[in-house]
Structure formats: C-alpha cells, structure tokens
Structure 1
C-alpha cells in the first residue's frame, strides 16, 4: 500500500460508526492536528447498522481512497469492512479496540458489545443539557441571579467568553459570563457570590484589537472607534487585570489558547477548588 498523502497534501478520512460518530470525529481531529501542513477531507457514515448501509459506505470509500477509522460492534459488519479495506489496500483502524481490550483485561469483565453504549441517556446526559440551557440563558450578562452557576467568566469583549461557556456546558459545568465595560467597575451581579468560581479572562491588546477589527469588518463596519483603538483597548485590559487582582480571582490569558485549552484550565481550577473543599 502506497500513501498518496504527504506534507501540504489533502487526504480522505472515512469515519464509519454504528453510533453517532462523535467519538470517531474527536479522535480523528486530535490525531490529524499532530501533522502540520496536511488537510483532511472528512467523510462520516453514522448509524451504520445494516449490510445495505455498510455497502453504501464501502462504495464511497472505494471512490475516494484514504484512511478508514471505525467503531462498529457487529462482528459480521466489522469483518465485511476490514476484508474490503484489506482487498483494496486501505488502512482500517478500530479506534476503541485497544482501550476496550485493556479495560476488559484490567476489570476481568467482557465488554457489552452494544452499539452506541457510550451515548446511553444517563444522569450525565441530563446534566449537560441543563448546563447548556444555563449557559445560553446566562450569556453576556443575562439571566439575573448567578448563585446557581458553577463558574462565572468575566472579561472584556472578544476574550472567548461565550464559546468557552458552551464548551464547559458540554462537560456538565454551568457557566455564565459577564462582559466588562470601560471604567473598571466590578459588575454588581458578582458581588457577594459564594458558590460560583469567578474567573477572569484576558488577552494581549494586539490580539483583542485584531479580533474586534475582524468582527467589525464582518458587519461591514470599518470606522475607527475606541472599541478598536490601541490605547483604549490597552486601558480596558489593564483595568480588568486590576479588578481580578483586587478580588483575588484567578486569571487566564487566552491570547494563545484555544477554547478547548481555556476550558481545560478552568476545569482544573474547578477540580482544585473541590479538592480543597471550597
């Protein structure tokens, strides 16, 4: 088998799943991110549970050869997929097999072999839905009482507060966010809060100005205002940092962090707080 992909090249990845394919997608994207200059063309075949559905997927795979990643429980379906990929010289990777085999050996228990078992409705599922609703209702300073939040994020405009809250919600964390306005005054809604962990988000002035200018351009607005003025933005960020320091709130610089990295840092802070009994 000879690979047609390489640095600076596109290649096809076929994700075959008897469930939603979310697990496959996350693993694939995390893996491909380790290779610079490579662009992936993603093909998803979700809820593949019948021979007819599998045949359709195999036809598409043969039309656009690449790498196949799969999570398929049925032994017959797996064999059909693996045999076909071997026949046409395409690599096929069973993403969960090494993990399940290791856990099975450690626990001395056989796996259940249920398609989509990881997506069963359970308490955690409902917690995530509740957290997502909470994030939407308490976005950008809305929603009133914040005592029900796990986390409250503060930051000047364009510090990724909203996407970070949504990401945290998918991890079951109720997160609200409040934008900081010029002047450096502490938002009234956070004064006296006891339950939520209050976290300040900041970034370099250059990064904030760049994001704000791009935002205005997307709205066909290119006038220079304090919103994108270098000195004004710098003053905003300094005032925000002083506020965070004054209240002793942990601060995260998001300049070079992705939303996922920012959320991971926040989750660590939440877990540390729980471990300390706060």
Structure 2
C-alpha cells in the first residue's frame, strides 16, 4: 500500500485584524499612532478602516455599522462628549475595545498646566502662524531643491549636501512639514559647490553619506524606473561610487560639517537627527553625530 504523502504546511504570511480609526478631524494623529503601535508586532497586519470628520450622529452611525460588521480595535480622538459617549457605549455593547488615544496626554497636560481642556473640534489644524510657517517651508524646499536658487540659501534653516541618492529631497520635504526651511545641493563629480556656501553662517549645513552598496542599489533601481540609459557608467560603478563617497567625506571633514550616514536610516530618523543638530546649533552646543 503506497504511503500517503505528507502535506507541506504553507508558510504563515501574517495575522490580520481590523482597526477602526474614528476622528472628528483629519485622522492624521490616529493614523500615525496606529501604524506605530502595529509596527511593534511581527507578523501582525492591520486592516484599517478610517472615518474622518465625524461630527454628526448620522456620520457616527455609518462608522458603527462597519465596526459591527468587522469587529476589531477602535481608536478615536472624539472631542464632542455626546458623540464620544455614543461611540463608547455601542462598543461596550459589542464587547469591542474603544480607546481615546489622546486621553492620557490630555489629562497629564491639564494637570500640569492647571488648565481646562478645550472642546474645539480640530483645534490642532487652525490656520495659525505655525500652519503658515509649514506652508512657507514647503514652498521653500521645493524652490531650493537640487541646488536651485543657490543665491537665496541665507534664508534656509538647514542645508543638506550629499552625493546622488542620499535622500536629500524627501528629507527636505519632511523637515518642511515640521516648519523647517531646508534646501539641498548635490555633490556631482567634477562640479564645484556654489561659492555662496562659504559665506553662510545661519543655516545648519549637514553632509549626507551612504554605503557604496546601498547607493548603487538605489541608483540602479532609479535608472530602471526612469528607463534612462543616458547616465555615465560611473554612476553605478562600484569603484567610482566609492571614490565619490571618499571625496564627499573629505569635503565634510575639511569644512567641519556634521555628517549623517543614511544607509540604515529612514527619512524620519534622518530628519530627527537633523532636528537634534539644529537645536544644538541654536543653543550653541553643536557637536557631531
């Protein structure tokens, strides 16, 4: 009698669960917090249901219907106490956890400041000075990308300098969302940096580096995406790229600029390091990183 073949177990891809994000504003805070929490668990993949600008019973009821159809964790930032009570009561009836994610922070702030909590919906998105500063910083980053308008760099808070594909542009955009004016200039073999850089004293100048292997990988992917064969062969040549990085590092050391290796850093991590350096510069404690 032939042996019955053993069934091979399929690899487990991940565990899915539903998470409902309910906000009376844009939902940005909830989305960031949910992603940060889910990232702490390996093999756990959230299915996000996002409900934003929930400011009426009718809008809330639609969200509750979907929560009942797809039970999971409910995270909210509801300010309106009546709507919040309805949400939490219905979740208790469904035996579903409902968490006001900002509650611990708001309570701590209130106790420390001895101040009452504002009941205004979407108060963090008022068109205040901070909002317009972010818009101005974003416009500045776009206008001063990749070495453009080098004669206006005195207005920058941060100037990033690095070889091609060291995430200069996305880092500048991220910093702009924090209200920081950031410009960037590429280091191109055979091309000198603008003379204006030597006269700058206000912007924090930071050099960005990455490993040759990482740069070559990113550059090759970039060329494939653009279907571009016009780049010189040295653009992805290992020895040429290595020499680029050596020259960049020597330049940064000669100028005394702080250096960040972005090889294993996300845009957020690189930006956090730059913000830390900027704070040190503003307080007169700037060192290296």
TM bracket (short chain): over 0.9
How much has 1:38 moved relative to structure 2?
1.8
Asked if structure 2 preserves the Cα contact closer than 8 Å seen for 1:184 and 1:243, the reply is: no
Asked if structure 2 preserves the Cα contact closer than 8 Å seen for 1:184 and 1:239, the reply is: no
Which one of the candidate residues 181, 185, 190 is aligned to 1:183?
190
Count of residue correspondences = 273
Partner residue of 1:171?
Answer: 178
Asked if structure 2 preserves the Cα contact closer than 8 Å seen for 1:14 and 1:42, the reply is: yes
The DSSP-based 3-state class of the residue aligned with 1:236 is helix
Partner residue of 1:101?
Answer: 107
How much has 1:64 moved relative to structure 2?
2.1
How much has 1:7 moved relative to structure 2?
8.3
Mapping 1:72-83, distance limit 5 Å: 72-83=78-89
How much has 1:220 moved relative to structure 2?
3.0
CA RMSD of aligned residues (A): 1.8
Which one of the candidate residues 251, 256, 264 is aligned to 1:248?
256
Partner residue of 1:270?
Answer: 278
CA change 1:112–1:193 in 2 (3 A) is: same
Asked if structure 2 preserves the Cα contact closer than 8 Å seen for 1:8 and 1:38, the reply is: yes
Which one of the candidate residues 152, 155, 165 is aligned to 1:158?
165
Separation in 2, partners of 1:82, 1:7: 33
Asked if structure 2 preserves the Cα contact closer than 8 Å seen for 1:184 and 1:240, the reply is: no
Instruction: Tell which deviates more after alignment, 64-73 or 171-180.
Output: 64-73
How much has 1:221 moved relative to structure 2?
4.4
Separation in 2, partners of 1:210, 1:226: 14
TM-score computed with the length of structure 2 as normaliser:
0.90
Partner residue of 2:265?
Answer: 257
Partner residue of 2:7?
Answer: none
Instruction: Tell which deviates more after alignment, 258-267 or 81-90.
Output: 81-90
Separation in 1, partners of 2:25, 2:186: 39
Instruction: Tell which deviates more after alignment, 260-269 or 24-33.
Output: 24-33
Larger radius of gyration: 2
Which one of the candidate residues 10, 13, 19 is aligned to 1:13?
19
- List runs of 5+ in structure 1 lacking aligned partners: 1-5
TM-score computed with the length of structure 1 as normaliser:
0.93
Separation in 1, partners of 2:14, 2:278: 40
Which one of the candidate residues 55, 60, 63 is aligned to 1:49?
55
Are 1:126 and 2:114 counterparts?
no
- List runs of 5+ in structure 2 lacking aligned partners: 1-11
Separation in 2, partners of 1:250, 1:277: 13
Separation in 2, partners of 1:230, 1:102: 53
Separation in 2, partners of 1:159, 1:230: 16
Which one of the candidate residues 45, 52, 55 is aligned to 1:39?
45
Asked if structure 2 preserves the Cα contact closer than 8 Å seen for 1:14 and 1:68, the reply is: yes
CA change 1:237–1:277 in 2 (3 A) is: closer
CA change 1:184–1:33 in 2 (3 A) is: farther
User: Alpha-carbon deviations, 1:88-119, whole Å to 9, x = none?
Assistant: 22211101111111111222222011111111
User: Alpha-carbon deviations, 1:118-174, whole Å to 9, x = none?
Assistant: 112211111111101000000111123211101100011110000100010011110
Asked if structure 2 preserves the Cα contact closer than 8 Å seen for 1:184 and 1:236, the reply is: no
Separation in 1, partners of 2:194, 2:215: 21
Which one of the candidate residues 237, 252, 277 is aligned to 2:245?
237
Are 1:143 and 2:149 counterparts?
yes
Are 1:215 and 2:222 counterparts?
yes
